Amino acid sequence: MTSSALRIGEPSLRLRLRRAERGQRLKAFALVLPLLAFLALTFLVPIAGMLWRSVEDGEVATVLPRTVEALAGWDGRDLPGEPAFAALAADLREAREAGALPAAARRLNYDVNGYRTLLTTTARRLPSPPEPGRAAETLLDISPRWGEVETWGAIARARGPLTDFYLLAALDLKRTADGTIVRAPEDTAIYLDVFGRTLGIGASVTLLCLLLGFPIAYLLAALPPRRSNLLMVLVLLPFWTSLLVRTTAWVVLLQSEGLVNGLLVWTGLVDEPLRLIYNRFGVYVAMTHVLLPYMILPLYSVMKGIPPSYMRAASSLGASPLTAFRRVYLPLALPGVGAGCLLVFILAIGYYITPALVGGGGDQMISYFIAFYTTETVNWGLASALGAVMLLATLLLAGVYGRLVQGRSGTGDRGL
Amino acid sequence: MNGGAPRTWQQRIAWRLTVILSALVLFFLMAPILAILPLSFSSGSYLTYPLPGLSLRWYEEFFTAPRWTSALRNSVIIGIASTVLATVLGSLAAFGLARWRSRLKPIVLAVVLSPMIVPVVITAVGLYFFFAPLGLTASHAGLILAHTALAAPFVVITVSATLQGFDMNLLRAASSLGASPLTAFRRVVLPLILPGVASGALFAFATSFDEVVTVLLLAGPEQRTLPREMFSGIRENISPTITAAAVILTLLSVGLLVAMEGLRRRSERLRGLVPR
């Protein structure tokens, strides 16, 4: 009886439940929507715009349309023919009158040094009225550089609408006129170095944070709550203190007349004040200080979950403290070590302010160059390409971090 | 308490070593902040010990010199506005996310939290390109929007943490007793999650108040904030006014920390009342 009644009522009940659930889901999503829309406008779209700028290349085609068209089928091995020379002469003449030349000159100058001068001199010295059929001769007369394949290659590479020029440049690579990818010349190939330096500083600071953070996290987890809470304040206060305050403090302490050098000289350990700031040492010290709480907090939260009885069990089974630590405690603390290291590393490679204030010229990290090309030299394509490479690296690391943290809560549940 | 009651001599040594190392690390963390405090009371204009004498002249300069007062005003305006925006948007989203069951949820969560992970300089450069044609660079509005985007994830995380201990049955109980959804939210949910919302707001304020990268790229001379002014102060001429500013900012941090701790305790107490 009851079972048949249920069966009759079932479809409508299920339908109603599903409808109610859908309503719930919509209502919940409606609450998330404002933030999502806000972030789309102030975060996702701007970053997508930056990524677009790293591959977009329209300036040269707008200023030199005929030249770009004449070079469309060019293979990049031999000099282009008379039509290309004629097109360039016509484009230059027109661009000079319209005052549009600087935009193209700037873009081509990113590619080949001295292009700006070449383009403006050529435009200025073009004969007027034009002499039909003698464009190649005239241009070669003005500058022999028009007789080089790479000079034309630069225009061909910048024909747009899309380019891999900036992304390749961010990795110290460039294309030759015939399209093969080669290493960029020595004087412009600095970015792999900068990326390497960024990762190196990030790794060193992460290691320093781990070495300094492990004992204190262990202590905080081991002490009774009343006392560990007190010590935790000493970790949290620097964490809440402004980055600029902490950086100021290190500038004041480490400068040549600063407190640290004063103590060193006074105790007779050194005769001359040491150079402790505006170099790599200063960057390591200040960044480790700023990022240390980000290591301590995840370590602490994992260590807090390790039951003390495990260590007691290990030693009652005859393990020495060192063995017990190595074989029992360390494997259990490892997820915290991983999470802390990744977090510190991700934050460290994005650092800009601290190295800019306590580092020297050779200690600037990738963020510095991104900001520099955005506001100082206005090479937005390169700034965007460097940003794109860095964004990719960060998102990959963040993905690993997400996995790690998720995995941790999973094993944590099973452990309990 | 592992190690709390050491028994063998090896354990005792290991414990001592941990304590000594920890003390050194805590000294490393706290000493720089404490070391610059006295310098702000110096009567001389060099940032060196020993102090030639004591005075409040740098505090006086901080509170009267136009570049510092306008920086303080900008920081407060931008900080409060972005805190309000981030708290409203972030709390709503956290509440929605807590009740939303969907396969898309991890993706949405990743998007919502990503401003925290993406290096600030990338966000700032993207906003610089995006805001320039809209006339939002060198404006307070642009900085408020930027800081809201950076601060909102912190609100989402803090409020979500509070909601984890929240029993949704309370809402059902309220509506079964005749409360409208709005009344139920206002009278039952809000008081319980308020400490979480408040700590989210404090996080948001601290984020905005401390942020300097977007300010460096987006602000004009009229929008320079306190950290921005300190940045150029360190770069150009480091005067003791910076240490006065540092002391005031540190006092603010202490205040924020105390408020956070108070809220955490309150939230725990309130959640203790919730039957599970």
Residues in chain B: 276
- pLDDT value at residue A407: 59
> pLDDT tens for residues B178-203?
888 788 878 888 888 888 899 899 99
Q: How far, CA to CA in Å, does A29 sit from each of A33, A35, B100, B108? A: 6, 11, 7, 10
Name the token pair of A410. 């999973």
Range of the domain at B261: 66-273
For chain A, say whether B110 makes contact (Cβ under 8 Å).
yes
Rounded to the nearest 10 degrees, the angle between the axes of helix A191-222 and helix A330-349 is 140
CB of B248 less than 8 A from some CB of A:
no
Tell me if A177 sits within 8 A of A76, measured CB to CB. Answer: yes
User: Does some domain include residue B39?
Assistant: no
Domain count, chain B: 1
**Which stretch of DSSP H or E encloses residue B10?**
helix B9-36
ipTM above 0.85, yes or no: yes
What are the tokens at B28? 């490393």
A/B interface, count of CB pairs below 8 Å: 282
- Give dist(CA A411, CA A221) in Å, integer: 19
pLDDT of B56 strictly over 80:
yes
Residue B56 lies in a domain: no
Distance CA A201, CA A362 (A): 12
Contact present, B227 and A243 (Cβ < 8 Å): yes
For residue B29, give the nearest of A234, A350, A357 by CB distance. A234
CATH number of A191-415: 1.10.3720.10
Contact B213 A352 (CB under 8 A): yes
Rounded Cα gap, residues A361 and A378, in angstroms: 20
Q: What is the CATH number of the domain that holds B206?
A: 1.10.3720.10
pLDDT of B155 strictly over 90: yes
Phi, psi of B54 (to 5 degrees): -105, 145
- What is d(CA A380, CA A361) in angstroms, rounded to the nearest whole number? 22
Which has the minimum average pLDDT: A251-255, B101-105, B138-142?
B101-105
Of B112, B213, B216, nearest to A39 by CB-CB distance is B112
Say which residues have a Cβ less than 8 Å from residue A38's Cβ, sequence separation at least 6: B89, B148, B149, B152
**In chain B, which residues have their Cβ closer than 8 Å to the Cβ of A250?**
32
- Give the model confidence (pLDDT) of B198-220 as tens digits: 989 999 999 999 999 999 999 99
Given a cut of 80, is residue B168 above it in pLDDT? Answer: no
Mean pLDDT by 10 residues, chain A (416 residues): 52 82 85 94 96 93 92 86 90 89 90 90 84 85 89 89 92 88 85 94 97 94 88 89 90 87 87 89 95 93 88 85 86 90 94 93 93 90 95 92 67 32
Nearest CA in chain B to A40: B111
Question: How many CA atoms within 13 Å lie on the side-chain side of B46?
Answer: 10
| Chain B residue with minimum CA distance to A394 | B118
DSSP state of B54: B
**Nearby residues of B217 by Cβ (< 8 Å), 6 or more positions away:** A371, A374, A375, B121, B124, B125, B127, B128
Is position B41 within any domain? Answer: no
Pairwise CB contact (< 8 Å): B8 & A247: no
How many angstroms separate the CA atoms of B169 and B182, rounded? 16
**Among A159, A134, A184, which Cα is nearest to A74's?**
A159
B2-12 pLDDT, tens digit each? 444 556 787 78
- The three-state secondary structure class of B166 is coil
Mean pLDDT within B43-65: 86
The average confidence (pLDDT) of chain B is 87
The pLDDT assigned to B189 comes to 80
pLDDT given for residue B273 in this prediction? 52
Interchain CB contact of B65 with A (< 8 Å): no
Domain residue limits, chain A: 59-160, 191-415
Confidence of residue B172 (pLDDT cuts 50, 70, 90): confident
Q: What is the structure's pLDDT at A6?
A: 52
For every residue of A164-229, which 3-state class applies, written as one string? Answer: CHHHHHHCCEEECCCCCEEECCCCCCCHHHHHHHHHHHHHHHHHHHHHHHHHHHHHHHHCCHHHHH
Work out the percent of chain B whose per-residue pLDDT is above 70: 95
Beta bridge partners of residue B42, listed in sequence order: B54
CA nearest B32 in A: which residue? Answer: A249
Span B219-251, pLDDT tens digits: 998 999 999 999 998 888 778 888 899 999 889
Interchain CB contact of B203 with A (< 8 Å): no
* Contact criterion met (CB below 8 Å) for B150 and B215: no
Interface test mutation site (partner B, options A51, A198, A248, max chain B beta carbons within 10 A): A248
Asked if the C-beta of B100 comes within 8 angstroms of chain A's C-beta atoms, the answer is yes
pLDDT at B223: 92
- Rounded Cα distance, A174 and A163, in Å: 11
B 70-99: CB under 8 A from A: 89-90, 92-93, 95-97, 99
